[in-house]
């Protein structure tokens, strides 16, 4: 993993992302896979998504996190 600045820990990065205004409204946030994996790691990311009751999918270069537990339905 890449070194983070002293003021930003992997845990704080995850908390900020998953506590954003959009996340608090039950919306959607996305981050590039390479950023997640180099800053916090896949296992920590998925564990925190699961702990919060959120859902995530991987598509192309991104993880897309649905900040709710509503069903996900593919439309195409």
- Look at residue 8 in the predicted model and tell me its pLDDT: 81
Residues recorded for the chain:
76
13 Cα distance to chain centroid: 10
pLDDT of residue 6: 73
pLDDT in single tens digits along all 76 residues of the chain = 556 677 888 899 999 999 999 999 999 999 999 999 999 999 999 999 999 999 999 999 999 999 999 999 999 9
| Distance, CA of 64 to chain centre | 7
- Considering the entire predicted model, what is its pTM? 0.88
């Amino acid at each position: 993993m890449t070194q983070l600045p002293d003021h930003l820990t992997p845990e704080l990065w995850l908390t900020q992302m998953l506590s954003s205004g959009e996340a608090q409204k039950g919306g959607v946030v996305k981050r590039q896979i390479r950023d997640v994996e180099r800053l916090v790691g896949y296992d920590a990311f998925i564990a925190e998504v699961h702990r919060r009751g959120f859902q995530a999918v991987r598509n192309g270069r991104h993880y897309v996190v649905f900040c709710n537990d509503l069903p996900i339905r593919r439309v195409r």
